[in-house]
A and B are shown apart, each in its own frame.
Chain A
Amino acid sequence: MKILAQAVPGNTIAGFSRAAEAAGHSWVWWEERHTPAFDVFDEIQPDMLFYMNMTRAMQKCVDTNGIPTLCGSLDSPFQFKLNQSYNVKCDYLVDAHMFNMGEVHKGLACDIGITCDTNPVGLKLCQEAPCQKVWNIKILNDTAWPTTQYLGVGTLSDKRDLYRSASLVVVDTLMDVIRVIACGSIPVSVNQEVSTTLLNHGMLIPYYDDAYTLMDFHNNVVTRNPSEGASLLANLRGHLAGHAYDDALTLILENAQ
């Protein structure tokens, strides 16, 4: 299947492109400013159109060719409109081709990784952990932390490397939670709302609002009792089913036909 996609920035559409290519579909990016709709439809002859903003020219081409369309929105990245009428709602999706278990990055290997905004637990952790001299903490985040452990603003692949290399990752969004699990690390939430947001089967994400209990958790599940950590991770990974772009694309294509 040839899928024509309007080139717009965003991780959602990039996730779909990698899922489509992995499934053997042909994914063609289209920059509307450079190529008129009529020309690109004539040249590519797509079987499906993925768009964000429908123009009159695009509408005419879609009507003429009679192809299914999928409309995404930057405001709600996991809601799609199929054929301009049928709503497809997906749960949080992870790009399994990017976020997966892989080699530990030697420069990012650490006890605790942090990829969220400044919060009292993280700050206390950065302050107290070095006193115990056994903790290695690394922070990658878009906004700066006032601590020496802050490494800078990382790209998605840098964050992926940190997720793979840290034994435990402190996060504050559900999106990051599933990315961390997909990369084979244990997520810990400092946001109660995230921790109680249920994945598929009522799985709770470990939540700590105190740096010392978080350090105890690390000691228990990583240092002293790795088998407990492995079992927790296996349990969490079991709840990832259906949270990949590949699953969402399959669902969308089934509904489109």
Chain B
Amino acid sequence: MIPRVNFLVDNIGASHMAFYMIDEAHKMSEQGKATVSVFYDQLHRPCRRVMLPTMMMIEAWAQPGVSIATSMSTAARLLSFPGPQIKMFYVWDMTWNSNPKPYGPATQLFRDPSLSIIARCADHARVLENNFNVEVRYVLENFDHELLLEAISHEQDRKAAK
């Protein structure tokens, strides 16, 4: 059975992240390897033509399958969603590390055991592991769909093993 993959993004407007996310999601969908949906927080003009279902974030609440947050705000929302069986956080950028900041909110989020952390590169992974003492399970660049599908399959196996 092909997995149902839901990307939670702040918006699909012009950004490096949105471009790669849509591009790789198209590949997953076209190759029939996953049923992909995109949920956004703010309505923006898409940075490229989107051949996928896109919906408001509120719709992701009960959406089953694998949900992948892509920012601190979407990750915080994802934690409260009852629908997804697997919750992942693709840490696209390190804006959480900008100053000034209070200690606590980021730590609580990153250390939540229900989130599987995905980093963009080994350096990001090292910073996340150092600062939050968490295990970064996967490292993949620019939403690489093949590695992402591998990660999802691995997470499904882990879930089944529990």
Contact = CB atoms under 8 A, between A and B. Distances in A.
A144 B103 contact: no
Interface in B63-85: none
Contacts of B97: 148, 150
Interface stretch (A65-73, A130-138, A186-194): A130-138
B111 A107 contact: yes
Contacts of B53: none
A153 B101 contact: yes
Contact of A151 (B94, B107, B111, B126): B107
A201 interface: no
Contacts of A106: 111, 133
Interface in A3-57: none
A143 B99 CA distance: 9
A137 B133 contact: no
Contacts of A150: 97, 99
A3 to B, nearest CB: 33
Q: Which of B94, B97, B100, B133: most chain A CB closer than 10 A?
A: B133
A152 B104 contact: yes
Contacts of B106: 152
A149 interface: yes
A163 to B, nearest CB: 14
Nearest to B134: A107
B131 A153 contact: no
A209 interface: no
Nearest to A109: B133
Contact of B101 (A136, A137, A152): A152
Interface in A123-176: 130, 136-138, 140, 144, 148-155, 158
Given A144-B99, A154-B103, A149 B133 contact: no
A136 B99 contact: no
Contacts of B102: 152-153
A151 B101 CA distance: 8
A140 B103 contact: yes
B34 to A, nearest CB: 33
Contacts of A140: 103
Contacts of B100: 144, 152-153
Interface string B140-152: 0000000000000
B112 to A, nearest CB: 11
B115 to A, nearest CB: 14
Interface of A: 106-110, 130, 136-138, 140, 144, 148-155, 158
Give 4 closest A-B pairs by Cβ, nearest first.
A144-B99, A152-B103, A154-B103, A152-B101
Interface of B: 94, 97, 99-104, 106-107, 111, 126-127, 130-133
17 contacts: A106-B133, A107-B111, A109-B133, A110-B130, A136-B130, A144-B100, A148-B94, A148-B127, A149-B131, A151-B103, A152-B99, A152-B101, A152-B103, A153-B100, A153-B103, A154-B104, A155-B103
